[in-house]
Amino acid sequence: MQSEFAAKIFGDREDPHVRLQKLFDDFSTTMGAPPSARTWTADVLKKRQIDPKENPDQAVAALRQAYPRLTAKVARYLVDDARMR
């Protein structure tokens, strides 16, 4: 697995689902983001009153600010997942 540091500098090449499983310690086999990551994303965006469908870039920034270990690719993956819900 590519380290978080290397991912932030050289670009994230890791599968977002795999990285999320490790970050959230949720190894469920669901499609898309793990349930704990989905719940966390929904909570963060609700608290900050951000609609991911209207402001996806603002949503990505809010998630990365709330959890700095997220790479841009993983945060975008979470926002895209939230936009489909």
- Look at 10 and 69; give whichever has higher pLDDT: 69
13: pLDDT strictly greater than 80: no
- The structural domains of the chain, with segments of one domain joined by +, span 4-83
**Region class of 28: left (phi > 0), else alpha (psi between -120 and 50), else beta:** beta
Note whether 48 and 61 are within 8 A (CB). Answer: no
Helix (H, G, I), strand (E, B) or coil at 64: helix
Encode pLDDT of 53-75 as tens digits: 999 999 999 999 999 989 888 99
Mean pLDDT confidence for 31-57:
94
Residues 6 or more apart from 85 whose CB is under 8 A from it?
Answer: 38, 42
